[in-house]
Amino acid sequence: MKERLEILAKKFNDIFPDNKNEMRFFAAPGRVNFIGEHIDYCGGYVFPAALTLDNVVAIKANGTDTMRLAATDLEGIYQFDLKNIDAAKELEWGNYQAGTAKELLKNGYNLVGCDCLFDGIIPFGSGLSSSASIELASAISFASMGNPLKDPSEFNLVDFAVFGQKAENNFCNVNCGIMDQFASAMGKKDNAILLNCETLEYRYIPLKLNGYKVVLGNTCAKRSLAEVKYNERRSEVDKAFEILSAHLSGRPNLCSFSPSEFEEHKGKIEDPVIRKRAEHVIYENARVIQSTKLLEANDIEGFGRIMIEANNSIRNLYEVTGIALDTMVDEALKIKGTLAARMTGAGFGGCTVNIVKEDYVDEFIKTVGDNYEKTTGITPKFYVCEIGNGAREVFM
């Protein structure tokens, strides 16, 4: 990290040479979700973990009411006025930051104009929540600069996660759930988070992988359908909830129905597509609870089997995978050392999450990569990942 921050500081001073104020650094990670896909917006349980892939921002106060933003992989400076944040919706880049700033101001945080340089090592479009990472890095850095007497570790990061979600929902018009922002805010090294997305109750569960590694497989496929299908699925599960609620009233969300209740009442859902969507959501919620119990019992093999079941459900019942993800998973499961393989994220491209025996990681990457490329014509990328901490200040 020290070398990265030194390089970032030099680039910052090249972009903002006239700013002589104190420079600080803040980081927020991307996330991987091990199980519980497409149910965070249905009030279900999810099981994400923060990655050591992150966004880092170098930041200085600039003595104005203007936030000036730059990124190490973009040309130019993008800016917005803290007194007219809504105008930032027209920015080519920077609306995640602007939306987060708006939520902070709405909730009583003092903000000051700053110069900011963002450096992300989360592959864009990979389904590892680079947007949530930007939102949380913005939240903790903007709040820290505007409230300099407060230690960043004292901020309520659950609140910041909610602010990030609201920024994406209300400012960026992406109807996402809370999981991505929560994992980026609250991640803990070597632990995953069992999160109730309805209540935001959570607890950490150690990831004891016993000789296995987490390997992410980036399909590098263009995710052209992801946003359209995401909104389509949300409307489908809303319809399923409406139908089931007519027979079992007083429930807060679709995940509050048990598998046995679904089996008893599924005939009321006449549309077979809506019925499949509901089946995935309700059974997936049960799988999350089951899988974490297996992990706590140190049954890593059982945990892997549940992950594979979850992928079959998201593939066949929820139908948000596609050729690229299906090929990556199918090829992964052919490797002897693969315990589990599953899509992660919104779908239609992005990444798979794989649990692979340490001795087989190199073979996994080469063989799966070669076979995937032969089938799809796309060269994939792989990341052997560690589980890291959430949003925080970092130092040289």
Hey, which residues are catalytic here?
180
CB neighbours (10 Å) of residue 246? 10
Cα–Cα dist 396/388, whole Å? 18
Q: What are phi and psi of 25, to 5 degrees?
A: -130, 140
Range 354-359 contact pairs with CB under 8 angstroms and sequence separation of 24 or more: 354/214, 354/215, 354/216, 354/217, 355/209, 355/212, 355/213, 355/214, 355/215, 355/300, 355/304, 355/307, 356/212, 356/213, 356/215, 356/332, 357/211, 357/212, 357/213, 358/211, 358/212, 358/213
Classify residue 270 as exposed, middle or buried by CB count within 10 Å of its CB (0-12, 13-18, 19+): exposed
DSSP secondary structure string, 72-139?
Answer: TTS-S-EEEETT-GGGGGG-SS-HHHHHHHHHHHHTT-----EEEEEEE-SPTTSSS-HHHHHHHHHH
